[in-house]
């Protein structure tokens, strides 16, 4: 995995204006945002999450009415069709389809390099696909990325926390950028949830890897996202942390997409398991009806 991107974006459109007519002033990711300017420098060429400039709505002089554009009803939290992603000449996704219903928990599995992180970054609107279509929570993810991001909670491979700030200060910074109401209460509540209440004032640089992972989870949950995207969230977590993760996945957000290398964890956490191979979905099934042989085959593992 390379070129991790910031996990979150600074939001500049708290009112959600212009959404109905597609004229939202969705801003590009702010490199000085809560995830830090340092990470922005690690973007690979052509790997930016900058959003396409949107055309200003055309209005006749004196016409104050807003155009009403009817959107087809959408029941999917994620509707990805034919996603393609090239990093230079490397094809990371080669026509990947994924539909996640609202309320569903989906685990992505796959061998190293199968495209899981790339897919998750695209779902997080942190990487722009080279082709295909993506609707998130009923919004066009490319055209309305800022609107979508407000409703996403993301834990990426790297935690992207400010090491010199305390746990509380990290959450406060992030919460302010997201306009979280009753912020201090929310911070206390999320730190409690992830078992860091006692370490609230400790500098992130002095937290263990697992504690930082817990804090990244708290940050992802702070604004009560509608869609939680977790890239190998089990990394660094002890037994109690794994149990905490299970509770978060079950209770903390309506819809969850996560990646993992553990079939057992995927079965335990998710309603549906999706195996990627060479940038495409190779197998998927509800976790109640998974055929182990088919999973191993799709993973390219020994039968």
Binding site for ligand ATP (CB under 6 A): 1-3, 44, 47, 87, 90, 92, 110, 112-118
The CB-of-180 to ligand ATP minimum distance in angstroms stands at 30
User: Closest CB to ligand ATP among 91 and 173?
Assistant: 91
The Cα–Cα gap between 14 and 179 comes to 7
DSSP labels for the chain? ------S------TT-TTTTTT---PPPP-TTSTT-HHHHTTPPTT---PPPPPPPPP--TT--PPP--PPPP--EEEEEEEEEEEETTEEEEEEEEEEEETT-EEEEEESTTSSHHHHHHHHTTSS--SEEEEEETTEETTTTHHHHHTTEEEE-SS----TTSBHHHHHHHHHHHTT-TTHHHHHHHHHHHTT-GGGTTSBGGGS-HHHHHHHHHHHHHTT--SEEEEESTTTT--HHHHHHHHHIIIII-SEEEEE-S-HHHHHHH-SEEEEEETTEEEEEEEGGG--HHHHHHHHT---
Closest approach of ligand ATP to the CB of residue 118, in Å: 3
Nearer to ligand ATP, 92 or 281 (CB): 92
Residue 84 or 200: which CB sits closer to ligand ATP? 84
Task: Name which of 95 and 113 has its Cβ closer to ligand ATP.
Answer: 113
| Residue whose CB is less far from ligand ATP, 130 or 189 | 130
Backbone dihedral angles phi then psi of residue 39, each to the nearest 5 degrees: -65, -30
In the complex, the smallest distance separating the C-beta of residue 260 from ligand ATP, rounded to whole angstroms, is 10
Contact, 166 vs 201, CB < 8 A?
Answer: yes
Q: How far is the CB of 3 from ligand ATP (least distance, A)?
A: 4
By beta-carbon proximity to ligand ATP, the closer residue of 20 and 278 is 278
Nearer to ligand ATP, 112 or 288 (CB): 112
Question: At closest approach, how far in Å is the CB of 109 from ligand ATP?
Answer: 9
User: Could you tell me which residues are beta bridge partners of residue 86?
Assistant: 91
The minimum distance between CB 24 and ligand ATP, in angstroms, equals: 28
Q: Which is nearer to ligand ATP, 132 or 195 (CB)?
A: 132
CB of 79 to ligand ATP, least distance (A): 20
Task: Compute the distance between CA of residue 80 and CA of residue 65 in angstroms, rounded to an integer.
Answer: 33
Shortest spacing between CB 2 and ligand ATP, in angstroms: 4
């Amino acid at each position: 995995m390379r070129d991790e991107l910031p996990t979150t974006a600074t939001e500049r459109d708290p009112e959600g204006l212009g959404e109905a007519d597609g004229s939202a002033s969705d801003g590009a990711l702010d490199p000085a945002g809560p995830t830090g300017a340092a990470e922005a420098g690690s973007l690979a060429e052509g790997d930016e999450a900058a959003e396409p400039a949107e055309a200003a709505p055309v209005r006749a002089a004196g016409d104050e009415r807003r155009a009403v554009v009817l959107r087809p009803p959408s029941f999917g939290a994620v509707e990805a069709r034919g996603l393609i992603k090239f990093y230079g000449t490397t094809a990371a996704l080669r026509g990947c389809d994924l539909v996640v219903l609202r309320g569903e928990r989906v685990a992505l599995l796959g061998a190293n390099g199968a495209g899981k992180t790339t897919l998750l970054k695209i779902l997080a609107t942190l990487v722009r696909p080279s082709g295909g279509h993506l609707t998130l929570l009923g919004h066009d993810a490319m055209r309305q990325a800022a609107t979508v991001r407000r409703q996403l909670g993301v834990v990426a491979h790297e935690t992207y926390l400010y090491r010199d700030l305390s746990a509380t200060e990290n959450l406060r910074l992030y919460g302010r950028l997201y306009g979280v109401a009753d912020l201090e209460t929310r911070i206390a509540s999320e730190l409690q949830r992830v078992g860091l209440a006692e370490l609230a004032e400790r500098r992130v640089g002095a937290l263990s890897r697992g504690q930082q992972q817990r804090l990244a989870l708290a940050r992802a949950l702070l604004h009560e996202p509608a869609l939680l995207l977790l890239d190998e969230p089990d990394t660094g977590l002890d037994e109690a942390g794994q149990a905490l993760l299970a509770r978060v996945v079950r209770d903390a957000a309506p819809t969850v997409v996560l990646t993992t290398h553990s079939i057992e964890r995927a079965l335990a956490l998710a309603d549906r398991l999706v195996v990627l191979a060479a940038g495409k979905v190779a197998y998927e099934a509800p976790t109640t009806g998974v055929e182990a042989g088919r999973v191993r085959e799709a993973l390219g593992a020994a039968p």
